[in-house]
Amino acid sequence: MTYLSYFACMLEEWTAVEYLKKYFFHMVIISVTISAILVFFIVPLTILFFIYLTNVLLIIYQRNGEVKADPLSDVWDSARKTVASFWDIYARIWHGYELHGVENLPEGPGIVVYYHGAIPIDYLYFLSRLFLWKKRLCLSVADHFVFRLPGLKLLLEVTGVMPGTREECLSALKNGHLVSISPGGVREALFSDESYQLMWGNRKGFAQVALDAKVPIIPMYTQNVREGYRMFKERRFFRQLYETTRLPFTPPYGGLPVKFRTYIGEPIPYDPNITTDELVEKTKTAVQALIKKHQTIPGSIWKALLDRFDKHCKSD
């Protein structure tokens, strides 16, 4: 064996070339799997990171300015504008976000009822743009588990997120606020799919509050929200786990830059002669009508991506 051949053999052994050849296929499979996992979950995790970062920035603003005012007061408006501007830029870049039908929102109080996607990021976009356009805060009813999340207390208070008891909602409406709620809530987020089926169950509290407060209900829906972020197909175990604990153990995935368009429908005016059940059905019909008008069913990720290049809104 020549010195050159001997050196080549030693180099192969040192660099583990033979080892790599033997296990190359396995390494490719592992690399592809890890890459797929990162692609599926990196955007939802990024959103979560930005949400916590927003809360940290609000804490810094509070301490530096020694702000002790009520989180819902106008003192926080400059901070709200900064936060809203950040999320609006994110919405424009990542989802080409559009908001239609703002003129359907009443000048006074009202209840906004919307379809709940796997991740309600579209709703966050709506809140941000509404504040930037109208300098108006829409208070949000959230599931109880949201308030168990650590480190978000100030953000929830400043953006007007509340557990949504009957008394809280009536008080907010009495003070002239818009109040929003998704009757499907977490169940709809977890177990609805690209068919965009509403999963309201027997939820009718929002309708009773609307009647008690004598305010209109405004339906709202975001096009392609299920194509942007999805849940894994329902499994009986996860469904039973949620029904038992009321905690969302199923992680969302996706985050593709599909087109998002939020449509605000015509308000359902207060009618003293309507029952709670009838108002629930009218509201459900109005939300379903928005879905039917603006959404391809079943939803298509490819079409939702191509919508980014479509300058015209479907049936707008």
The DSSP annotation for the chain comes to: --HHHHHHHHHHHHHTHHHHHHHHHHHHHHHHHHHHHHHHHHHHHHHHHHHHHHHHHHHHHHHHTT--S-TTSGGGHHHHHHHHHHHHHHHHHHH--EEE-GGGS-SS-EEEEE---SSTHHHHHHHHHHHHHH---EEEE--GGGGGSTT-HHHHHHTTEE---HHHHHHHHHTT-EEEE-TTHHHHHHH--TT-----TT--HHHHHHHHHT--EEEEEEETHHHHEEEPPP-HHHHHHHHHH----SPEEE------EEEE---B---TT--HHHHHHHHHHHHHHHHHHH--SS--HHHHHHGGG--S-TT-
**Residue-level pLDDT at 29:** 64
Average of per-residue pLDDT across 248-261:
87
**103 in Cβ contact with 144 (< 8 Å):** no
**Tokens 């290049």 -> residue:** 309
Alpha carbon distance 251, 45 (integer Å): 10
Q: Is the pLDDT assigned to residue 74 strictly greater than 60?
A: yes
In a domain, 32, yes or no: no
Task: State which amino acid sits at residue 249.
Answer: F
Picking from 167, 164, 188, the residue whose alpha carbon sits closest to that of residue 112 is 164
- Cα first-last separation, the chain: 79
**Tokens 């305010």 -> residue:** 215
Q: How many CB atoms within 10 Å of residue 290?
A: 22
Average of per-residue pLDDT across 22-39:
58
In a domain, 316, yes or no: no
Picking from 207, 158, 156, the residue whose alpha carbon sits closest to that of residue 181 is 207
Average of per-residue pLDDT across 38-59:
86
Task: For residue 245, name the pLDDT band (cuts at 50, 70, 90).
Answer: confident
Residue-wise pLDDT tens digits, 119-156 = 999 999 999 999 999 999 999 999 988 998 899 999 99
Residue-wise pLDDT tens digits, 186-243 = 889 888 888 999 999 899 999 999 999 999 999 999 999 999 998 877 667 777 777 7
**Residue-level pLDDT at 315:** 41
Average of per-residue pLDDT across 151-176:
93
Alpha carbon distance 264, 103 (integer Å): 8
pLDDT > 70 fraction of the chain, expressed in percent and rounded? 85
Alpha carbon distance 261, 307 (integer Å): 10
Handedness of CA 153, 157, 161, 165 (dihedral sign): positive
**Residue-level pLDDT at 288:** 97
Determine the Cα angle at 269 with ends 264 and 275, to 5°: 120
Q: What is the CATH number of the domain that holds 224?
A: 3.40.1130
Q: For residue 297, how far is the Cα from the chain centroid?
A: 20
**Residue-level pLDDT at 121:** 94
In a domain, 244, yes or no: yes
Q: Is the pLDDT assigned to residue 91 strictly greater than 80?
A: yes
Write out the two tokens for 277: 């059940």
In a domain, 42, yes or no: no
Average of per-residue pLDDT across 98-112:
97
In a domain, 219, yes or no: yes
**Residue-level pLDDT at 31:** 60
Alpha carbon distance 297, 308 (integer Å): 18
Write out the two tokens for 127: 């809140």
* Domain tally, the chain: 1
Alpha carbon distance 201, 196 (integer Å): 15
Task: For residue 64, name the pLDDT band (cuts at 50, 70, 90).
Answer: confident
Average of per-residue pLDDT across 64-85:
89
Average of per-residue pLDDT across 250-277:
93
In a domain, 59, yes or no: no
More confident residue, 45 or 108: 108
Instruction: Say which range, 19-33, 72-86, 199-213, 298-312, has the weakest mean pLDDT.
Output: 19-33
Q: Is the pLDDT assigned to residue 3 strictly greater than 60?
A: no
Domain that holds residue 189: 70-308
> What integer best gives the mean pLDDT of the chain?
86
pLDDT > 90 fraction of the chain, expressed in percent and rounded? 62
Q: Is the pLDDT assigned to residue 314 strictly greater than 50?
A: no
Q: Which of 9-23, 42-56, 172-186 has the highest mean pLDDT?
A: 172-186
In a domain, 36, yes or no: no
Cis geometry, peptide bond prior to residue 298 (ω within 30 degrees of 0): yes
Residues annotated as catalytic are 116
**Residue-level pLDDT at 309:** 86
In a domain, 141, yes or no: yes
Within a 13 Å sphere around the CA of 280, how many CA atoms are in the beta-carbon half?
A: 17
Instruction: Say which range, 38-47, 255-264, 277-286, has the weakest mean pLDDT.
Output: 38-47
Alpha carbon distance 170, 12 (integer Å): 76
Residue-wise pLDDT tens digits, 113-123 = 999 999 999 99
